[in-house]
Amino acid sequence: MFCLKKYGFLFIGFLLSCCTSINDEKMWVQINHDGENEARIITRQDTCPMINIDGQAFLMESRVTSDHGNYPILVCKKTLPKTYSKISVLNQTFSHSSKPINKIAIIGDTGCRDSQNINDPKQWPFPQIVENISNHNPDLVIHLGDYIYQKDSRYTSTTANPDRWEQWKIEFFDPADKLLKQAPWLFLKGNIEFLKVPEGWMRLVSAYPYPTTFTQEEEPFWVDSIEGVSLLVHDSSAAHTDFVPNVESYRSKLRKLDFSKGDRNVWLLTHRPLVGVVTLKHKNNNNESILSDSGYLLKVFKEIYSKLRLTISGHVHTFQYLKSRQLPDQFIMGNGGVLLEKVASPPVLNNAIIHSQIIEKGMTVNQFGYGMLERHKELWVLSLYSVKNSILARCTIGKTMSQCEFGAKN
């Protein structure tokens, strides 16, 4: 209304075009495969803009140009220095503190299914979760994958292709806009990105350069910017027997990694969990599990179990904590917005047997929410928050142990 009152109806077409352009301009900072922070911006302009980094101007480089179809946008990039305080580009600003990473937000599986009303925060709470996380002022945001699920409810065509900029904008970039400008992000690739929106993944948020051909599985990489912790980022988006019949392709990539630091505190980040429980049945006095996944990654990571302190994953649309002697401690956090599991496992999973793995302690919290990891001297504390910001669980993570308290109070 402001634009119309100020300039009159002669310029309606121009102004609408201008406003659309501004709405389509999204800026963020992400950690890439080389450990560098990179600024990216999406624009409808024909050429990449200038970026201002602490008062110095630089020309951004093109990551990938418009395809004049499903992705009528230009994606630009600029590697950032090790320390910086403020960057701005096309009226988008990003303020960053160079303090150590001591507070990490974790979300997963944030997209919206057709069966969810995208405009109802009770059915799709991702925008509210973003607002809640923003109030914590995190130093880093980790997304565990699955950003786009189906079509927005405003589209009636059942054959609409979700692999397009408009869908990424609706399900991720618009609701996440505030948080994208507040902290660097680490993006993981989910099975939805592999199956339904591979082009969007490669164009927009992949940690690797835009490939000339489709990449089924990206190389794992280290993130060592957190004091005392090494994050191992692994692409498990295609890790299923239907798509990858041979685990050797995954194992060969893991063998290239340097685990030479014996005291390395390794946290594995991967979309699919090693094991994830949807429900349990009992047969002949033995626990028999029905899983959301095939346990395929148990074979992939078998050679390096002893080198992993814990794993953090999504994919199962709930929160789970699983502790066993054979496997690293597992935190599953796929409760960021997509429809929760219809049949959740019993809350207590103690002594369950999953793919021959005995779960000594386990718990499920089947509510929408997000996690906040905070450093407390030598320990990390993971707090699981609900959409209403109450604490559903609090887990203490040390170099050799972890334990969770459920139903924890603020």
Query: In whole angstroms, what is the distance from residue 2 CA to residue 8 CA?
Result: 10
**88-92, 143-147, 253-257, 328-332: which has the minimum mean pLDDT?**
253-257
Residues 320 and 189 grouped into a single domain: yes
Query: CB–CB of 393/319 below 8 Å?
Result: yes
Residues 25 and 153 in one domain: no
The answer, yes or no, to whether residue 177 has pLDDT greater than 50, is yes
The answer on 159 and 87 residing in a single domain is: no
> Could you tell me if 65 and 142 lie in one domain?
no
Same domain, 84 and 135: no
Decide if 369 contacts 386 (C-beta within 8 A).
Answer: yes
What are the pLDDT digits (tens) for 331-378?
999 999 999 987 666 787 777 766 667 778 888 899 999 999 999 988
Question: Which domain-ending residue is among 98, 122, 147?
Answer: 98
88 with 164, same domain: the answer is no
pLDDT at position 164 over 50: yes
Mean pLDDT calculated for residue range 275-289? 61
Boundary of a domain, candidates 66, 98, 130: 98
184 contacts: CB under 8 Å, gap ≥ 6: 29, 30, 31, 37, 96, 139, 140, 141
Give the global pTM. 0.90
The mean pLDDT of 182-203, rounded to a whole number, is 95
Same domain, 44 and 64: yes
Pair (24, 135) in one structural domain: no
Q: How many domains does the chain have?
A: 2
Residue 13: give the domain boundaries: 1-98
Q: Say if residue 184 is in the same domain as residue 89.
A: no
Residues 328 and 261 both lie in one domain = yes
Question: Does residue 42 sit in the same domain as residue 190?
Answer: no
The dihedral region occupied by 109, where left means phi > 0, alpha psi between -120 and 50, and beta the remainder, is: left
Q: Kind and range of the H or E element at 277?
A: strand 277-283
- Measured CA to CA, the distance from residue 221 to residue 253 in angstroms comes to 10
152 and 215 housed in the same domain: yes
Among residues 292, 226, 31, 23, the alpha carbon closest in space to that of 143 is found at 31
Out of 71, 98, 125, pick the residue that ends a domain: 98
Residue 145 near residue 237, CB atoms below 8 Å: yes
CATH of the domain at 172: 3.60.21.10
pLDDT at position 18, please?
A: 38
